[in-house]
Amino acid sequence: MSALNTPAAQASAQVFLRVLQDALFGIRGGSHLLLPRTDLGTLFPDAAAQWLRQRGAHVQLGQRVEERARRHLPASPARQAGRWVGPGQDDPVSALPALVWIALGGAVGSVARAMVALSLPARFPWATLLVNVLGSLLIGWLMARLGPIEGGTAASLRHLLVAGFCGGFTTFSTFSWQTLEQMQKGQWGAAAANVLLSVVLCLLAVWLGFRLGRA
């Protein structure tokens, strides 16, 4: 029967016909069709649930495991220390919407980028290169430290610092516009250097930040 479970995009009519031929019109004993007399659910799922209940287990149907895990997480030392707190009434930090944290972080990041740009006026866009490299270093470190945990304080910090601050502090659009300006002025060497330095240094920075965060 496994041949009949092939996805439609990979199915073959020839294989299907061969299965039917062998199953219905083959030699005696070539195939044995088993037709259940009871509901398939009672053969395994219901029996397994009953076996668990008889041994004191609580079987909850109709909910994802991840959803129940978030609702019933025990108070571990890590949560009490503030490194991560699951969503709930005892976590006022995660109660704020994600967009609020992103807006706060983005405002601070944008102001910080403007301060760097005002302090480094130059013909070459050193300020844009600097904020992009520093932002790449920071986002690598943050993602390594915060990890893939969903919900709670860690998620709020990612909204605030990663999407918010790093998103406002770094600027790909300004980098693109400054490179185009250099090309329009015929400064092809400076434009190529800007692209090369930005790509290479930002990749190295995010890699270094991730390594430092994992150390």
- Given a cut of 90, is residue 56 above it in pLDDT? no
Q: What is the pLDDT of residue 57?
A: 81
Mean pLDDT of the chain: 79
CA-CA-CA-CA dihedral for 197, 203, 204, 210, to nearest 10 = 150
Write out the two tokens for 162.
């990663």
Lowest mean pLDDT among 44-53, 57-66, 126-135: 57-66
- Helix crossing, 188-214 with 126-146: angle to 10°? 20
Selected residue with higher pLDDT from 162 and 59: 162
In this prediction, residue 90 has a pLDDT band, given cuts at 50, 70 and 90, of very low
Q: Are 213 and 142 in contact (CB under 8 A)?
A: yes
Q: What is the pLDDT of residue 98?
A: 82
- Given a cut of 60, is residue 76 above it in pLDDT? no
In this prediction, residue 29 has a pLDDT band, given cuts at 50, 70 and 90, of low
CA-CA-CA-CA dihedral for 150, 85, 166, 164, to nearest 10 = 90
Q: What is the mean pLDDT of residues 18-30?
A: 69
Selected residue with higher pLDDT from 189 and 53: 189
Write out the two tokens for 17.
């016909």
Q: What is the pLDDT of residue 81?
A: 44
- Helix crossing, 172-184 with 126-146: angle to 10°? 150
- Given a cut of 70, is residue 3 above it in pLDDT? no
Please name the residues in contact with 198: beta carbons below 8 A apart, sequence gap of 6 or more.
128, 129, 132, 175
Selected residue with higher pLDDT from 181 and 96: 181
- Given a cut of 70, is residue 207 above it in pLDDT? yes
Q: What is the pLDDT of residue 15?
A: 73
Q: Are 178 and 120 in contact (CB under 8 A)?
A: no
Q: What is the pLDDT of residue 31?
A: 63
- Can you give the pTM of this predicted structure? 0.55
